[in-house]
Structure 1
Amino acid sequence: MSSGTLYDKVWDLHCVADLPGGATQLFIGLHLIHEVTSPQAFAALDDKGLPVRCPERTVATVDHIVPTISQERPFSDPLAEEMLSTLERNCARHGITLNGLGSGRQGIVHVIAPELGLTQPGMTVACGDSHTSTHGAFGAIAFGIGTSQVRDVLASQSLAMSKLKVRRIWVENRLADGVFAKDLILHVIRTLGVKGGVGYAYEFAGPAIEVLSMEERMTLCNMAIEGGARCGYVNPDQITFDYLQGRAEAPSAEIWDRAVAWWSSLASDPDASFDDEIRFDAAAIAPTVTWGITPGQGIGVDERVPISEQLDPADRPIAEEAYRYMDLAPGQPIEGVPVDVCFIGSCTNGRLSDLQAAAAVARGRHVAEGIKAFVVPGSEQVARAAIKEGLDQVFRDAGFEWREPGCSMCLAMNPDRLEGSQISASSSNRNFKGRQGSASGRTLLMSPAMVAAAAIAGRVSDVRQLS
């Protein structure tokens, strides 16, 4: 095995061939599919009479289009029903495991693969979804792909790709109470920009990263793509191994020690060379909120919306656009901005620890009058675990709605949508114009705990003041 970074090692282990022009034909160890980007890919295979090359390495779920209030079939939306029916037919025809509604294993694709133990260190993981970088938290190389590439992986279990440079994001110290991985990654994107990672894989490392739970590492890697990086990863360690041990698809007890030894060998070598390194101080990061229309337009909750003249000239045009769209004034404090809808969920922050953090804020309090607040578990497994702890009742008692698993209001492909120019406090990953279903809807990204604080106050609030 080659030496160097984890990225180098995993890349070399999965290299099938060097292609003319410098690209690599890369073997894909795990292919995750869902109902949105797979139908056209399956149709392309049918047109050529091709089978799925490795159905045993392909795993499906339904997440984007499923309603979260009632999941009774048929869905009221005929297009959503047809998309799910098509996925069911394609999986049955090709012998692909489908973690469907009511299976006990359904949920957002980037939530279920880790919790089932499918995602493991040293893998290459691909999925027709931008936030596939989530799986890098395990020491995997994971990237989102387009529909034509979904077709290629179904047909050949490989992809033609160009190798990335590797930037190490080194984070000193530890995050303070009330500050989470969501705040850290929003701070990184704010600092480096939404295009700062183009051409790079991000290795997240340092004392602050080493103490993060696996679920927080997943949040971190999930949003690497929002900073322009094609993928982000964390070296596997004992926290990784403890998370995986005993999960349904993880290595069995008989081969566990060998698996751990192998995974450990994949971590970046102490003398590994990086193309770039940028350092951050975790202790200096505050709860972070986006004020604009890109994930890079974020500030600490105790800061003010930046003034255009203080920004880099290249950032001023989109700042001016954001002022108008968000109806926020330069120099205005972000704390105190009123909200209409509060959403806790998504592949970024819909895991059990996210719900626990939000419930700790909601417990003994109540959602402000006129605020719509709801919680969407990231999977059926997350929902069961949360209900076992009584978190669903904590949220209901506080005035939140408790929903069924799905992508929900992260994106406008299901009934959960903003209306008009409503402002949402959202634990999701993108705050683009129209992202949450209304052409004039506005999104403020923040951690689940901060969303809960906003729901209680009816406005953006510093969760540290509620503890």
Structure 2
Amino acid sequence: MGKTLFDKIWDNHVVSSKEGFPDVLYIDTHFIHEVTSPQAFNGLRDRGIPVFRPQQTVATADHNVPTINQHLPIKEELSRVQVDMLTKNCDEFGIELYGLGHPYQGIVHVIGPELGITRPGGTYVCGDSHTSTHGAFGAIAFGIGTSQVEQVMATQCLLQQRPKRMKIEVNGQLQKGVGAKDIILYIISQISAAGGTGYFAEYAGDTIRSLSMEGRMTICNMSIEMGARGGLIAPDQTTFDYVKGRKFAPAGEEWDKALAYWKTLYSDEDAEFDQVLTFKAEDIEPMITYGTNPGMGIGITQNIPSRNEFDKQEQKSYLKSLEYMGLNDNERMLGHHVDYVFIGSCTNSRIEDLRQVADFVKGKRKADNVTAWIVPGSKQVEQQAKLEGLDKIFIEAGFALREPGCSACLGMNEDKIPAGKYCISTSNRNFEGRQGPNSRTFLASPLMAAAAAVTGKVTDIREMI
């Protein structure tokens, strides 16, 4: 029997396997940041042991960093302490840090791919749930807890139970104005925020293969939002072209050797999955969420579901979510007013996202009632945007182009949405208070967010392109 792509990579990284116990899985690269690493470093310090393979650990500051005036001391005390602690820990344990001011600084899931650190066939972990982003390269990548961060630091391995395998196929031609973010929001809306629990998902089909690497990263990024352990996409020529020539990518003979291996990374025709789901690209509209988890999403022309579509037990939590959002069941989202627009996060802060938004807003002006933030995912994205003149387009349109960081995705820094205000966000989560205490989040694509910034309300992007 053939193997799935997931099993090929997993089996290639198993150090030890014993029936009835988790596998000991070797980790190629460990990404760390300032939020989930301090306790792990303290654990090593208490035991008097070093980071086992510091050259396979990549550190950056992203969650707590301000996105304006990064050359000045951080104002928020907790953020300042955490960033300073990361600097101290990396210095003590011999780990290179891409901290504030470094040309490679940025969101951990943006810098790994753009630097050529993320490659097909590898295993990648980070104390961050959206590590699944790296799976877009045909890799096994997933988030881990703080105790596991310490485990990888100490051994470069993890104890892991092998998850079930799910295949999600999307085939067909996307409508105009529909992109990768809409695809994944649609899938999650169809199977729910728990529909992938216990699985590792492989995305396939001609629609997925037509996406750029940046689009594929958006898809894999949100795998965790349907409860899956992670997601991956088989590498192809699009993948190889993206990786080649990047800072830390293989070169010369090493490239040829790596490429030969990468070309074997696909699910065999007779490979068996525990579950297979199929979707038609033509069914996908521009998407928007209305509730407080990413599964509560609808096509832009649809109404919020009626309470009668849920049983009595589900109705209670459903109506609680709508009450928090200030919405009613069976209501239309189209035309709902918007206060803030946030374009950024590890889901949609890459150069293609910024180019797409700049192309749309060029010659337009944001609505007076909207505050619009564009936060690049890395210093390299920021510099490329300025090189292409995108910063001037954003400024003329009334958008604020800020400096790299996680920003308003999670409100752990100075970029918070005020209580009661509505934000259309290109990030990955719309939980209660995620973007600030009592803030209200609609998840959408960069184009949908840009359209809302210009019109001041939830708008069908197809009517404007």
Q: What TM-score, normalized to structure 1?
A: 0.98
**Is 1:258 equivalent to 2:266 in the alignment?**
no
Task: Pick which of 453-462 and 170-179 moved more.
Answer: 170-179
Q: Which residue of 1 aligns with 2:455?
A: 457
* Mapping of residues 57-136 of structure 1, within 5 Å: 57-136=56-135
Task: Pick which of 343-352 and 264-273 moved more.
Answer: 264-273
Deviation digits for residues 232-277 of structure 1, max 9, x if unmatched?
0000100000000000010012322221110111211122111110
* Mapping of residues 36-75 of structure 1, within 5 Å: 36-75=35-74
Deviation digits for residues 404-430 of structure 1, max 9, x if unmatched?
000000001100001120000000000
Q: 2:441 aligns with which of 415, 440, 443?
A: 443
Hey, what's the Cα distance between the residues in 2 that align with 1:289 and 1:115? 28
Q: Which residue of 2 aligns with 1:419?
A: 418
* Mapping of residues 133-144 of structure 1, within 5 Å: 133-144=132-143
Partner SS, residue 263 of structure 2: helix
Q: Which residue of 2 aligns with 1:147?
A: 146
Partner SS, residue 342 of structure 1: strand
Hey, what's the Cα distance between the residues in 2 that align with 1:329 and 1:78? 39
Hey, what's the Cα distance between the residues in 1 that align with 2:259 and 2:393? 38
Partner SS, residue 223 of structure 1: helix
Task: Pick which of 97-106 and 243-252 moved more.
Answer: 97-106
Partner SS, residue 181 of structure 2: helix
Hey, what's the Cα distance between the residues in 1 that align with 2:387 and 2:441? 31
**Is 1:18 equivalent to 2:17 in the alignment?**
yes
Q: Which residue of 1 aligns with 2:404?
A: 405
Return the offset for 1:20. 6.1
What code does the residue aligned with 1:373 have?
A
Task: Pick which of 26-35 and 85-94 moved more.
Answer: 85-94
Hey, what's the Cα distance between the residues in 2 that align with 1:197 and 1:364? 42
Q: Which residue of 2 aligns with 1:230?
A: 229
Q: Which residue of 1 aligns with 2:206?
A: 207
| Contact 2:2 2:269 (8 Å CA) reproduced | no
Deviation digits for residues 280-316 of structure 1, max 9, x if unmatched?
0012100000000000000011111110112466643
Return the offset for 1:3. 4.5
Partner SS, residue 80 of structure 2: helix
Return the offset for 1:213. 0.3
* Mapping of residues 305-454 of structure 1, within 5 Å: 305-311=304-310, 315-438=314-437, 440-454=438-452
Q: Which runs of 5+ in 2 are unaligned?
A: none
Deviation digits for residues 128-178 of structure 1, max 9, x if unmatched?
001000000000000000100000000011110100111100111132220
Q: Which runs of 5+ in 1 are unaligned?
A: none
Hey, what's the Cα distance between the residues in 2 that align with 1:100 and 1:259? 30
Deviation digits for residues 316-346 of structure 1, max 9, x if unmatched?
3322112211111111111111110000000
What code does the residue aligned with 1:111 have?
V
Q: Which residue of 2 aligns with 1:466?
A: 464
Partner SS, residue 346 of structure 2: helix
What code does the residue aligned with 2:52 have?
R
Aligned-residue Cα RMSD (Å) equals: 1.2
What code does the residue aligned with 1:127 have?
C
- % same residue: 51
Hey, what's the Cα distance between the residues in 2 that align with 1:286 and 1:363? 24
Hey, what's the Cα distance between the residues in 2 that align with 1:355 and 1:283? 25
**Is 1:6 equivalent to 2:10 in the alignment?**
no
Query: How many residues are aligned here?
Result: 465
| Contact 2:2 2:270 (8 Å CA) reproduced | no
| Contact 1:19 1:25 (8 Å CA) reproduced | no
Q: Which residue of 2 aligns with 1:163?
A: 162
Hey, what's the Cα distance between the residues in 1 that align with 2:436 and 2:157? 35
Partner SS, residue 436 of structure 2: coil
Q: What TM-score, normalized to structure 2?
A: 0.98
